């Protein structure tokens, strides 16, 4: 009986630390994309939008943003978050694939809108 209790206690601690590790990892992935890909006037995203990024930089940005696929919404509805993330990935994929036309860039501008995503999904 005592052993059973002990075992379930161990199992609980195990599960709890898994959950924490997952949250940390989730945050790490999102923060890396934000800081290395999206933030600032000279970020790969900004350069992609204003036409200064090389094909290599665009491809790297696409690969980086793709790591956000399947991340958990830190706040707000998961479905709405998935939709925004997937749209951003799709728009970048198109440009990385060579379509740098006005329409493709306008779509990226919209899907990378910082405030639209942050106001719903970024914790205060
Ligand atoms: C599709 C959603 C989405 C878009 C678009 C987006 N962000 Fe974020 N961003 C997030 C989420 C979610 C967080 C919060 C992560 C957390 O705290 O768990 C975040 C956090 C951040 C952070 C803080 C990272 C840290 O170190 O804690 C910065 C900086 C940032 N975003 C910059 C930007 C900029 C600049 C843009 C626009 C060019 C942008 N983001 C567009 C989802 C997005």
State how far the alpha carbon of 11 is from the alpha carbons of 6, 7, 15, 19, 21, in Å. 9, 6, 6, 13, 15
4 within domain boundaries = no
DSSP codes, 3-32: HHHHHHHHHHHHHHHHHHHHHHHHHHHHHH
What domain count does the chain have? 1
Nearest to 48 by CA among 86, 88, 81: 88
15 within domain boundaries = no
State how far the alpha carbon of 21 is from the alpha carbons of 18, 24, 64, 72, in Å. 5, 5, 21, 13
Ligand 1, from 40, 64, 79, 122: best to mutate by most atoms within 8 Å of Cβ? 122
Q: What is the pLDDT of residues 28-81, one digit of tens each?
A: 999 999 999 999 999 999 999 999 999 999 999 999 999 999 999 999 999 999
Mean pLDDT of the chain: 92
Residues with CB under 6 A from ligand 1: 27, 30-31, 34-35, 38-39, 45, 74, 84-85, 88, 112-114, 117-118, 121-123
The residue range of the domain holding 52 is 28-121
20 within domain boundaries = no
* 2 Cα: distance to centroid of ligand 1 (angstroms): 47
79 within domain boundaries = yes
Tell me, what's the pLDDT at 19?
Answer: 73
Return the higher-pLDDT residue of 11 and 104.
104
Tell me, what's the pLDDT at 12?
Answer: 65
Tell me, what's the pLDDT at 4?
Answer: 74
22 within domain boundaries = no
6 within domain boundaries = no
Tell me, what's the pLDDT at 93?
Answer: 98
With a cut of 80, say whether residue 109 has pLDDT above it: yes
Ligand 1, from 76, 108, 114: best to mutate by most atoms within 8 Å of Cβ? 114
2 within domain boundaries = no
């Amino acid at each position: 009986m005592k052993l059973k209790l002990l075992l379930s206690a161990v199992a609980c601690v195990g599960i709890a630390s898994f959950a924490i590790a997952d949250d940390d990892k989730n945050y790490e992935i999102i923060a890396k994309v934000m800081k290395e890909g999206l933030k600032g006037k000279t970020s790969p995203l900004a350069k992609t939008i204003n036409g200064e990024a090389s094909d290599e930089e665009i491809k790297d940005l696409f690969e980086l943003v793709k790591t956000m696929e399947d991340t958990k919404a830190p706040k707000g509805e998961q479905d709405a978050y998935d939709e925004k993330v997937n749209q951003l990935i799709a728009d970048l994929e198109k440009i990385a694939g060579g379509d740098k036309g006005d329409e493709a860039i306008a779509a990226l501008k919209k899907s990378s809108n910082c405030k639209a995503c942050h106001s719903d999904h970024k914790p205060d």
